[in-house]
Amino acid sequence: MAYESPDFYGVDELLTEDELLVRDSVRGWVEERIVPDVAEHFKAGVFPLELAREAGELGLLGASLEGYGCAGMGDVVYGLICQELERGDSGIRSFCSVQGSLVMYPIHAFGSEEQKQKWLPQLAAGTAIGCFGLTEPDFGSDPGGMITTAKPTDDGWVMNGAKMWITNGTLADVAVVWAKTPDGIRGFLVEKGTPGYTTNDIDGKWSLRASVTSELVFDDCHLPKDAILPKSVGLKNALMCLNSARFGIAWGAIGAAQACYDEALTHAKTRIIYGKPIGRFQMIQHKLVEMLTEITKAQLLALRLGRLKESGKLHHTQVSMAKRNNVAMALECARTTRDILGASGITDEYVCGRHMANLESVITYEGTHDIHMLIVGMEITGLNALGNE
Amino acid sequence: MKIVVCLKRVPDTTAKIKPAADGRTVDPQGVEFIISPYDEIALEKAVQLKEAGTATQVTVLCLGPANATKELRKAMAIGADDAVLLTEDRDFRDPAATAEVLAAALTELAPDVVFCGWKAIDNDSATVAGMIAARLDFAYASFVVGIEGVEGQNALRVRREVEGTEEQVLVPAPCVLTAQRGLAEPRFASLKGIMKAKRKPLETKAPADAENASDLVALQPPPPRAAGRILGEGAAGVPELVRVLRDDLGVL
């Protein structure tokens, strides 16, 4: 294995044998299958679809779910998968987050037995792809204001509306779509090719270019009765999905930060200025030490978060704190690495520029940096500053 | 056909090796350990033979420290059926004692084929597999890059790498084979494999008594390389380069 992650506090010793085996296996796969080509995929703006099936064969999709072809491993394992994938690229990690946390998890938690049997094995294998439609063009941080509706008819539902910024949208064989019904917000499974359902890719992205981002449009889209996720009872179910995805993002950001730190450290030791490596200068050492300190704190935060989740004690505000802290930390590491690399840092021969551009999305999606601050703020003061009294 | 694959736990290929305070062993601090890469190739081939129905059982055998269970679990996640760890408390075993201990364990396991990497990448002795074959009186083929199939009563037709070409050899079981790069491409352990491996039997026991024939005295890093010399830049450097190659080094 060519890559060893920074582990200043011996965090590896806090992981079980299984967790280390998974981490090393995913790390090896990322090193062989993602790292060599991802800059080209990013440049071309394509998601390397063949990786979906390989990720499925390794068991990386929906890894913490039980049964239906899923590996049934712990939450820390899921976190480590995200960490290793995002060391490669945030876009690839986003694909796995969406598939596992936003598609497979709601089908597993709120779906009927028939829906689970039909979709989970294919989604776990990576032979089918899913997407998650909650955000709308005019409703992002306030999803409860959504205008997409599903009205009951004699033989099913008719859906109207649009969803925006949807990872995997045009690729997806099945979309988990949240819409207003007479009984409140409910989840639906919409299959590719359903009349009235169309998707378009969003072009011109600066960020997550190795991942597909789309809009979903529903124009008198007729759905069968059993398209509804029967156990979904409100917006809180959609937020439970996001909570699971945010948990993975808190881990994934560490991987992006580690990739940048690794690059910065190598450069600092090998780039010669005034006859000595730039790592000999105090300002460079200061930057490297700040990065490593923040990465180490983020590792411990994520691991504790994982153990809380595994023991069933996790509160969603703790996820908000970790997502907010770790993504901002990673973005700062990417920017600092770009700075240490000088002009080289702006080219795609180095990873920091790509991670920096990607992390601008990651700090925004799945609850923005500021929204997570307000969620934690409300928890500690008891006062709601979100505006949805 | 029953296969036993001998695995060694070694420092990662990219680990920076530092001698420990005793001046004769490796300081494990900050070093990640892996299955020695040639052993992993042997394991992959053994698992492929089982998947193809040629082998009926694949057991992995390791002489190593108590925490080598991680490498054995990985081997079972990749597809081995069971594992035996001879728990090592000594800090050094020479190749002769290693072969003696492994041969004793192999006698109990009674395999048709013993698979090893052609060398372990830490001590680089490349002698243990041959000594195992001699101790067990098994046939032996080294540097195997292909297994063509089983012929007659349990004889394996194998391809061996030899200087500039390959030869095919018919090796009767029981035998010892050593794996060379090209024999198989190791797979990544899947999560399901890792979950299954938790339920597969892993036996730990003490190794047989064996005395070292030689002893490790010191472990020293090679002397640091001297800094290079810059003779000049671009075309202006050529005359000096030619002069150094001709007059100082005498290679022209």
With a CB cutoff of 8 Å and minimum separation 6, the contacts of A18 are A73, A74, A77, B73, B194, B195, B198
Compare CB distances from A57 to B14, B32, B190 and report the shortest one's residue.
Answer: B190
Residues of chain A found within 8 Å of residue B14, distances taken between Cβ atoms: 1-4
Topology adopted by domain A130-234: Butyryl-CoA Dehydrogenase, subunit A; domain 2 (2.40.110)
* pLDDT given for residue B228 in this prediction: 82
Query: Touching check for A73 and chain B: CB below 8 Å?
Result: yes
Query: Touching check for B15 and chain A: CB below 8 Å?
Result: yes
- Of A40, A332, A366, A379, the active-site residue reads A366
Is 1.20.140.10 the CATH classification of the domain at A11-125? no
- pLDDT, tens digit (0-9, with 9 covering 90-100), for A198-208: 999 999 999 99
What is the rounded CA–CA span in Å between residue A54 and residue B69? 27
Query: Touching check for A58 and chain B: CB below 8 Å?
Result: yes
How high is the ipTM of this complex? 0.89
**Are A17 and B191 inside 8 Å of each other by CB?**
no
**Are A18 and B194 inside 8 Å of each other by CB?**
yes
- What residue ranges do the domains of chain A occupy? 11-125, 130-234, 236-381
Q: Locate tokens 């992002």: which residue? A: A140
- Tell me the Ramachandran region of residue B59: left when phi exceeds 0, alpha when psi lies from -120 to 50, beta otherwise: beta
Query: Touching check for B189 and chain A: CB below 8 Å?
Result: yes
**Are A1 and B70 inside 8 Å of each other by CB?**
no
**Are A59 and B191 inside 8 Å of each other by CB?**
yes
Compare CB distances from A20 to B70, B188, B195 and report the shortest one's residue.
Answer: B70
Query: Touching check for A20 and chain B: CB below 8 Å?
Result: yes
CA distance B229 to chain A (A): 14
Q: Which of B188, B195, B204 to mutate to test the interface with A (most CBs of A within 10 A)?
A: B188
**Is the pLDDT confidence value at B245 over 80?**
yes
- Tell me the Ramachandran region of residue B83: left when phi exceeds 0, alpha when psi lies from -120 to 50, beta otherwise: beta
Determine the average pLDDT of the residues in A241-269.
Answer: 97
What is the rounded CA–CA span in Å between residue B65 and residue B46? 24
**Is the pLDDT confidence value at B250 over 80?**
yes
Residues of chain B found within 8 Å of residue A58, distances taken between Cβ atoms: 188, 190-191
Active site residue A50: no
**Is the pLDDT confidence value at A387 over 80?**
no
Choose which CATH entry (3.60.20.10, 1.20.140.10, 1.10.3720.10, 3.90.1570.10) describes domain A236-381.
1.20.140.10
- Name all domains of chain B by residue range, CATH numbers in brackets: 2-221 (3.40.50.620)
Query: Touching check for B70 and chain A: CB below 8 Å?
Result: yes
Query: Touching check for A21 and chain B: CB below 8 Å?
Result: yes
What is the rounded CA–CA span in Å between residue A34 and residue A58? 14
**Is the pLDDT confidence value at B139 over 70?**
yes
Percent of chain B residues past pLDDT 70, beyond the cut:
100
User: Any idea what DSSP says for residue B56?
Assistant: S
Q: Taking Cα atoms as reference points, which of B103, B19, B6 lies closest to residue B62?
A: B6
**Are A58 and B73 inside 8 Å of each other by CB?**
no
Residues of chain B found within 8 Å of residue A18, distances taken between Cβ atoms: 73, 194-195, 198
Query: Touching check for A63 and chain B: CB below 8 Å?
Result: yes
Task: Band the pLDDT of B221: cuts 50, 70, 90.
Answer: confident
CA nearest to B12 within chain A = A1
- pLDDT, tens digit (0-9, with 9 covering 90-100), for A16-64: 999 999 999 999 999 999 999 999 999 999 999 999 999 999 999 999 9
What is the rounded CA–CA span in Å between residue A65 and residue A68? 8
pTM for the full predicted model: 0.91
* pLDDT given for residue A2 in this prediction: 60
What is the rounded CA–CA span in Å between residue A322 and residue A314? 12
